[in-house]
């Protein structure tokens, strides 16, 4: 670009979310906690609806993964967060990866209920606590990056992470002839969008 040329940007408007007030932080925190409890409750219903063989079977068409493997992966993230609150470091790289969770649905159910009970007792203000989160996202060799975060932000991440894995679980269940509820594995924003579109 030479000096006689000028760069013209499109007219910028203030994003609607920026115009709104942030609202009460504790109200947001309560919604996040309620969402986490709901996701775990959905997990409990899932575990109660699957036969042992369906839960633990590895499917070649799904990269030889199992429903139990995906579900264990979800719970690992919850336990990583809850285990890291006291020391203010959440380490997703060193998850427990307990094989009992992915092969024994009854064992997974007990752990799910324990995690849900802990979250139900967590004060909304606790979500404001600052933590460092470790998670390997690079294919390059070296130490995993650490990012500054909060318990609430990490819980939001874990909920979204679980929903995506629930979507995979839903597909895998259907491949095995099991129909799960239509909304299982569907993002809340998608549900709201579909409902809004249907109301128009």
Q: What is the CATH number of the domain that holds 76?
A: 1.20.120.450
Boundaries of domain holding 169: 26-136+143-180
Is residue 72 one of the residues assigned to a domain? yes
Is residue 35 one of the residues assigned to a domain? yes
CA nearest neighbour of 115 among 83, 157, 73, 151: 83
Q: How many CB atoms lie within 10 A of CB 41?
A: 13
Tally the domains of the chain: 1
* Tens digit of each residue's pLDDT (9 = 90 or more) over 59-97: 999 999 999 999 999 999 999 999 999 999 999 998 888
Is residue 116 one of the residues assigned to a domain? yes
Angle at 143 between CA 138 and CA 145, to 5 degrees: 60
Is residue 44 one of the residues assigned to a domain? yes
Is residue 107 one of the residues assigned to a domain? yes
Q: What is the pLDDT of residue 112?
A: 97
Instruction: Identify the residue with better confidence: 19 or 182.
Output: 182
- Position 182 confidence tier, pLDDT thresholds 50, 70, 90: confident
């Amino acid at each position: 670009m030479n000096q006689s040329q000028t760069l013209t940007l499109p007219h910028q408007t203030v994003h609607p979310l920026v115009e709104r007030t942030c609202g009460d932080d504790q109200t947001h925190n309560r919604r996040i906690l309620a969402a986490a409890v709901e996701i775990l409750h959905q997990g409990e219903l899932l575990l109660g609806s699957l036969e042992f063989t369906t839960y633990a079977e590895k499917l070649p068409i799904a990269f030889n993964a199992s429903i139990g493997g995906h579900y264990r992966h979800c719970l690992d993230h919850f336990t990583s967060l809850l285990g890291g609150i006291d020391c203010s470091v959440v380490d997703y790289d060193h998850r427990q990866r307990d094989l009992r969770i992915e092969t024994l649905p009854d064992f997974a159910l007990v752990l799910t209920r324990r995690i849900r009970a802990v979250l139900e007792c967590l004060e909304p203000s606790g979500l404001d606590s600052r933590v460092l989160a470790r998670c390997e996202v690079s294919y390059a060799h070296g130490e995993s990056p650490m990012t500054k975060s909060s318990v609430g932000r990490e819980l939001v991440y874990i909920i979204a992470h679980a929903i995506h894995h629930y979507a995979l679980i839903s597909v895998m269940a259907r491949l095995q002839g099991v129909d799960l509820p239509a909304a299982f594995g569907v993002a809340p924003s998608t549900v709201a969008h579909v409902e809004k579109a249907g109301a128009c």
